[in-house]
Amino acid sequence: MAYETKEAQAEMVWKLLEEVKDPEMPAISMVEMGMIHQVNVEEGIVSVDVLPTFVGCPALEMMKANITDKLASAAGVKEVRVKFVYTPAWTSDRISDEGRVKLRAFGIAAPPVDYKPGDPWEVKCPYCDSPYTHMENLFGPAACRSILYCRHCKNPFEALKPIC
């Protein structure tokens, strides 16, 4: 199937990218995380600029492979180029509202919207919505997450760190 315009092919690429999950949090796509910065389609060559949540994220190669695999077989795509860019820097405000809902359903508390450095980091439990939580460990299973404990429902959970 050939696309009539460059814009139509770019729209198709964005729709496919919505299916590419964050490898460390498979409940949310990289688009919902705000990690896909821009897409360019030129004569069948698709270029995708990705904003990693952290510079040293160990899942970068997995992200690149997942994006390439998803797009490579799409109609009209001859080549996929994935580039990690660091300007502008990814911030937690880039997470979509739908992404925040999906994170919570997955058991991960999303960072507050419009968080500013120096603001208190108040985390509500993703299971019971209680504000009575306690930081167990600032360093979670990934650089972007911390481990907390809910004093109300007694569940441990993870929270994405606010990055601004």
Single out the residue of 50, 46, 52 nearest to residue 81, CA to CA. 46
CB 119 within 8 A of CB 147: no
Contacts of 68 (CB under 8 A, 6+ apart): 80, 82
pLDDT tens profile 6-21: 888 899 999 999 999 9
- CATH number for the segment(s) 6-84: 3.30.300.130
CB 53 within 8 A of CB 144: yes
Q: Can you give the pLDDT at residue 127?
A: 97
- Whether 3 shows a pLDDT value over 60: the answer reads no
Q: Give the separation between CA 60 and CA 78, rounded to whole angstroms.
A: 22
CB 100 within 8 A of CB 66: no
pLDDT tens profile 120-150: 899 999 999 999 999 999 999 888 899 999 9
Domain ranges of the chain: 6-84, 95-160
- Look at the pTM and tell me if it is higher than 0.85: yes
pLDDT tens profile 33-61: 999 999 999 999 999 999 999 888 889 99
For 59, list phi and psi in degrees, rounded to 5. -95, 10
Which residue has 């814009």 as its token pair?
Answer: 7
pLDDT tens profile 65-114: 999 999 998 988 999 999 999 999 999 999 999 999 999 999 999 999 88
